[in-house]
Amino acid sequence: MAADTDSPTTPPAEPQAPQNAQATDHSPSQGPAGMLRFLGLVLLGAVIGGLSALAAVGFVNAVIWLNDLLLISPRGRMMFAHPEALALATVAVPALGGLVVGQLHRAIRERRPHTPADLIAAVQTRRGRLPFKAGLLSAMSGLVSLGSGASVGQYGPLVHMGATLGSLGARLMRMGRSDDNVTIACGVAAAIATAFHAPLAGIVFAHEVVLRHYALRAFAPVAAAAIVGHVIATNVLSQGALFHVTDTAVPRPWEFAAFIVIGGLGALVAGGYMHAILAVGRWAAKLPVLPSLRPGIAGAVLGLVALWVPEILGMGQETLRFATIQGAFSSLDLVIVLVLKLAATAMCIGMGFGGGVFSPALVIGTLFGALCGTLVTQLGMADETFVFYAVCGMVAVTAPVIGAPLTTLLIVFELTGSYVLTTAALASVTLASPIAAQLFGRSLFDIQLARRGLDLSAGRGRALLQNTRLKSLVSQECVILNPNDRVQEAVTRLGEGGHGEAYLVDDRQRYRGSVTLADLEVMRGKGQGHHRVRSCQRTPRPVLSPEASVWDAMHHVQDVTGEAIAVVDDKAGDAFLGVVYESSIARAYLKHSEDLRREEHGTG
Amino acid sequence: MVRAERQAGASWRKTACGLLLAALTGMSPLAAGQDAAAAQGEATLDILTWGGAYERAQRRALFEPFTEATGIPVRVHRYNGGLKELRQAAKEGSIPWDLIDMSRSEAKNACASQLLEPIAPEILHASPQGEPARRDFIHGALNRCAITHSVFATVVAYRRDAFPGRRPTEIDDLFNQQDFPGPRALQRGPAVNLEWALLSYGVPEEEIYRLLSTRRGLSLAFKRLDNLDSIHWWEAGDTPVELLAEDRVVMASGFNGRFFDAMVNRDLPIEILWDGQVQEHEVWAIPRGARESEQARQFIGFATSTERQTALAELIPYGPSRRSATIQVANHPDHGVDMRLHIPTHPLNAEHALTKDDEWYANSHERIDEYFRQALMTEGTSELP
């Protein structure tokens, strides 16, 4: 938990983001000029799509090359003739890779690689502007982790890389935050479209996971990016389909009930997977070891276990394929590999390797589905439909982890072209996603963000207000009284300033409460005009800390009848910083609502 | 053509600058060869190649025209592949051949063992349209010690009369003895058999070698092969044809050219199953210590010209390694069969083709052979043909 909270989602460097955004977001959105501007955005989306796709192709090929070179891939291992050296490399390569990753992370402010969770936070809070250096270092961390055989996924780094390129594009073109969000989504869509050869899944993923709303304004650039990514992938990336189904078996009607049950059980597996990752993270934070050395330890342990079960090394594409083949694993094998793969992934990610959670979830889910299929087959109830069970298990575990049921369905559809298989997967996802959302959260990313203080469960409007700090609304235009001032002076000053309340601040700049003009007048009426202000009755008023959000302020406004709320820094000995007027809170709320409305419902 | 030859001659001289012959004559390699033959009188090119219909086609399309053009006689030696003879000869220090027709995987292996001479691609001629050799040859054809001259495939052939009412259409059918009963003949050794066994599980072609690199993939493949009843393991390329002809097996693996010869020239009732064909590159290589290595280089340039490749592919259905030759292939000169439909690289036949991963075999064949022997050769199930 400590590790989660000490990494704030808002970089303090840009606390006034929404105000800056206002200046650039006001541009014509209607008429020919708006049209041209929109076409420009679509073109930029296509360019970002191309760059993101090329980066993804480079990344994927670099991982394959490293895996062959470093004796991680089965192919590389089979072609290597010395068994002793091979065993040594199996332990040494992930351990050394972990040490390199640890050093890379030291150069990132948060001391951890950036993941899709960070880009979701940036888009949902309309902050945008993904840091380029951290993005580059995170990509390198992912490359080294995957290349040296850590049990992590490649799609997380690919997606974040695409998003970073998109955000960079928006920054170079001096675009506003809404456009920054769109270009981030473009990079994401192209990365998914390229890596999976699935443009539709890329478009839906960008909407379902990143943008979380549907606007025509965003759709066109995102679609352009996904198409460019797909074209590049089909021409450059000669990778086989992730899975491949040749038989045309059709499941019997009752089997759809089994698929739904697999979905429900898969949600529990997904929950176990997500919580294992988080638990190892919490536990690792308490280890008496330098954070930069933790991935190295995880790598060494991974290598030692891999001497016994080599399946847990790397992304596990071979394991994924075997799990779709009936008879490739015995039930016992399936359980062993499933548990070890889950544990290995939780260890690698929890101990600080860079990389995604999606590919391991695919493997774990497919193994889980294969296990269900094997059991059903052993009961003699099914024979031809084994691959259906494997795929149902895959989507049931994967969809809850990334919070994207539609994307996983589309990946199945675009990769297999089989409508029957997609229908079966749909049956499985029907229960998996809602059950997991109820029990654990919308996705691993959302759980991680909630632990860092960004709660997206109540939607974007609230998250946005919760992430806008009050600091920028603080005003110094108020009457400040010393507790030793006389009442009559105080009344005069309030009258001159045209205010109804004054704030008592002592010589040491500490806030000592507030008084109202009405109470002061009462004292003067009683002939106590020469008394000190401090003897006046204090009005019990809440105070806000400068770190409080607009959302918190909105809550206080409901209970406060005055004109403003004092802002007091309790960390600096109750120092008085100024006041926030209710009207400025309301203005901030309306402005954010208006920005959101324009971003989510604008057409161009 | 003349321009191309002069270019080839210039670059050839570069590679052979130590040779007095080239330096003195300063002519195109063809003319130089004639001079050399005339000067030396008895220079003979000793070529080690595969026998049978393949050798007959090579004689007609390559060896005889070469002797006619250069005056250098060709002496043919036969073998069944493998590096055993070459290693033996290298150990004894006398290499009896100037040129070997071998598979690319063995050539890579031999090249790594310093058994072959490097070959500069400058000895190759441009296409008649002027396309330089580097662009005209297919991907992977120009190697350090070997030049691909044709692409052949190992395929499954079956007797048309063995399965009344139905025919095998997929490679899975090789392992399906319920629907297609009868004995099979397979080449002794892991190559191709393991690929087919794994393909029959529905594994896509691109992933075959990655999966065969795992214990799990190998054991799946061995299980498929082990479940086959009565396998005849063959070694010589002509054996599967004979086994099919004598009706001793109903399905057999073999080289597509041999099966074609049996179908067209001997009229045997067999048919090729193109699904799952495993393509391999067949290369020319020059052994280190060859006596006539310059003539051998000259021969490679001659035999891989577009014209000679086309002539060979019209006699025996091996896919030419030059794109310009593939599009020129027409009918068989004797019986008029349209050869385009019988070469493995034709799009109709190549839909589910696998290219043999030589690099994988070159680096792992010792272990794979050992696993294969342990899994399949110990139980006495194998019958020598």
DSSP A453-480: T---TT-HHHHHHHTSBGGGG-B--SEE
Q: Which residues of chain B have pLDDT under 50?
A: 1-40, 380-385
Q: Write the CA distances from A561 to A98, A539, A564, A585, B241, integer angstroms.
A: 57, 11, 9, 14, 100
Closest-approach residue (CA) in chain A for B207: A240
Identity of the residue in B203, B210, B367 whose CB atom sits nearest the CB atom of A75: B210
A-B C-beta contacts closer than 8 Å: 69
Residue A141 neighbours by CB under 8 Å, 6+ apart:
A101, A104, A105, A113, A157, A353, A354, A355
What is the tens place of the pLDDT at every residue in A15-34? 343 444 443 444 455 678 88
Residue B372 neighbours by CB under 8 Å, 6+ apart:
B189, B190, B194, B222
Report pLDDT for A353: 94
What is the tens place of the pLDDT at every residue in A91-120? 999 999 999 999 999 999 988 999 999 999
Closest-approach residue (CA) in chain B for A323: B216
Set of chain B residues whose Cβ sits within 8 Å of the Cβ of A322: 211, 214, 216-217, 220
Set of chain A residues whose Cβ sits within 8 Å of the Cβ of B212: 78
Asked whether the beta carbons of residue A321 and residue B363 sit closer than 8 angstroms, the reply is: no
| A523 and A510 Cβ atoms separated by less than 8 Å | no
Asked whether the beta carbons of residue A78 and residue B201 sit closer than 8 angstroms, the reply is: no
Q: Write the CA distances from A501 to A280, A321, A569, integer angstroms.
A: 52, 72, 20
Report pLDDT for A602: 66
- The Cα B31–Cα B35 span in angstroms is 6
Report pLDDT for A90: 94
Report pLDDT for A594: 84
What is the tens place of the pLDDT at every residue in A332-374? 999 999 999 999 999 999 999 999 999 999 999 999 999 999 9
Amino acid at A535: S
- For β-strands B146-159 and B74-78, DSSP reports them as unpaired
How far from chain centre, in Å, is Cα A174? 24
Buried b (16+ CB within 10 A) or exposed e, A374-383: bebbeeeebe
| A190 and A52 Cβ atoms separated by less than 8 Å | yes
| B240 and B183 Cβ atoms separated by less than 8 Å | no
Asked whether the beta carbons of residue B213 and residue A317 sit closer than 8 angstroms, the reply is: no
- The Cα A264–Cα A558 span in angstroms is 42
Which tokens hold the place of A139?
């990509």
| A589 and A550 Cβ atoms separated by less than 8 Å | yes
Asked whether the beta carbons of residue B213 and residue A325 sit closer than 8 angstroms, the reply is: no
User: What backbone torsions phi and psi does residue B126 show, to the nearest 5 degrees?
Assistant: -75, 165
| A406 and A208 Cβ atoms separated by less than 8 Å | yes
Which tokens hold the place of A54?
């090329």
Where do the domains of chain B lie? Answer: 2-151+282-326, 152-280+344-377
- The Cα B85–Cα B69 span in angstroms is 31
- The Cα A325–Cα B191 span in angstroms is 22
Asked whether the beta carbons of residue A321 and residue B213 sit closer than 8 angstroms, the reply is: no
- For β-strands A564-569 and A575-581, DSSP reports them as antiparallel
- Of all residues in chain A, the percent with pLDDT exceeding 70 is 93
Closest-approach residue (CA) in chain A for B205: A240
Which residue has 């360019």 as its token pair? Answer: A47
Q: Which CATH number fits domain B2-151+282-326: 1.10.10.10, 3.40.50.300, 3.40.190.10, 3.40.630.40?
A: 3.40.190.10
The single-letter DSSP state of residue A330 is -
- For β-strands B319-320 and B146-159, DSSP reports them as antiparallel
- The Cα A602–Cα A178 span in angstroms is 11
- For β-strands B45-49 and B270-285, DSSP reports them as unpaired
Amino acid at B175: F
* Nearest Cα residue to B288 out of B144, B149, B145, B148: B145
B153 sits in which H/E element: strand B146-159
| B344 and B260 Cβ atoms separated by less than 8 Å | no
ipTM of this complex: 0.79
Report pLDDT for A502: 87
Identity of the residue in B209, B220, B359 whose CB atom sits nearest the CB atom of A328: B220
A251: left (phi over 0), alpha (psi -120 to 50) or beta: beta
Amino acid at A455: D
Set of chain A residues whose Cβ sits within 8 Å of the Cβ of B360: 75, 78-79
Higher-scoring residue by pLDDT: B175, A239: B175
List the strands of the sheet with A479-481, edge to edge.
Answer: A479-481, A501-505, A511-516
Report pLDDT for B21: 37
What's chain A's average pLDDT? 87
Is residue A604 over pLDDT 60?
A: no
In terms of C-beta density within 10 A (0-12 exposed, 13-18 middle, 19 or more buried), how is residue A455 classed?
Answer: middle
| A97 and A144 Cβ atoms separated by less than 8 Å | yes
Asked whether the beta carbons of residue B220 and residue A78 sit closer than 8 angstroms, the reply is: no
What is the tens place of the pLDDT at every residue in A422-469? 999 999 999 999 999 999 988 999 999 998 888 888 778 888 888 788
| B285 and B146 Cβ atoms separated by less than 8 Å | yes
In chain A, the domains with their CATH numbers are 2-243 (1.10.3080.10), 253-451 (1.10.3080.10), 470-595 (3.10.580.10)
Set of chain A residues whose Cβ sits within 8 Å of the Cβ of B213: 73-75, 77-79, 318
In terms of C-beta density within 10 A (0-12 exposed, 13-18 middle, 19 or more buried), how is residue A430 classed?
Answer: middle
* Nearest Cα residue to A169 out of A38, A325, A329, A50: A50
- Of all residues in chain A, the percent with pLDDT exceeding 90 is 52
Report pLDDT for B199: 93
Answering whether pTM is above 0.90, one says no
CATH class, range B152-280+344-377: alpha beta
What is the tens place of the pLDDT at every residue in A285-313? 998 988 899 999 999 999 999 999 999 99
Report pLDDT for B29: 38
Which tokens hold the place of A600?
């989510």
In terms of C-beta density within 10 A (0-12 exposed, 13-18 middle, 19 or more buried), how is residue A61 classed?
Answer: middle
Report pLDDT for A144: 97
Total length of chain A: 604
- The Cα A517–Cα A539 span in angstroms is 11
Is the CB of residue A245 less than 8 Å away from at least one CB of chain B?
A: yes
| B295 and B100 Cβ atoms separated by less than 8 Å | no
Is residue A267 over pLDDT 50?
A: yes
Is the CB of residue A317 less than 8 Å away from at least one CB of chain B?
A: yes
Report pLDDT for A414: 87
Which residue has 């290598």 as its token pair? Answer: A303
Report pLDDT for B42: 64
What is the tens place of the pLDDT at every residue in A132-185? 999 999 999 999 999 999 999 999 999 999 999 999 999 998 888 888 999 999
Three-class DSSP category at A579: strand
Is residue A509 over pLDDT 80?
A: yes
User: What backbone torsions phi and psi does residue B231 show, to the nearest 5 degrees?
Assistant: -100, 130
- Expressed in percent and rounded to 5, the helix, strand and coil fractions of chain B are 45, 20, 35
Is the CB of residue A253 less than 8 Å away from at least one CB of chain B?
A: no
Nearest-Cα distance to chain B for A428, in Å, is 24
Report pLDDT for A425: 94
Closest-approach residue (CA) in chain B for A329: B216
DSSP letter string over B207-273? Answer: GHHHHHTSHHHHHHHHHHHHTSSSEEEE-STTHHHHHHHTTS-SEEEEEHHHHHHHHHTS--SEEEE
| B36 and B69 Cβ atoms separated by less than 8 Å | no
Asked whether the beta carbons of residue A244 and residue B203 sit closer than 8 angstroms, the reply is: yes
Nearest-Cα distance to chain B for A189, in Å, is 26
Three-class DSSP category at B61: helix
Report pLDDT for B33: 40
pLDDT (average), residues A196-209:
93
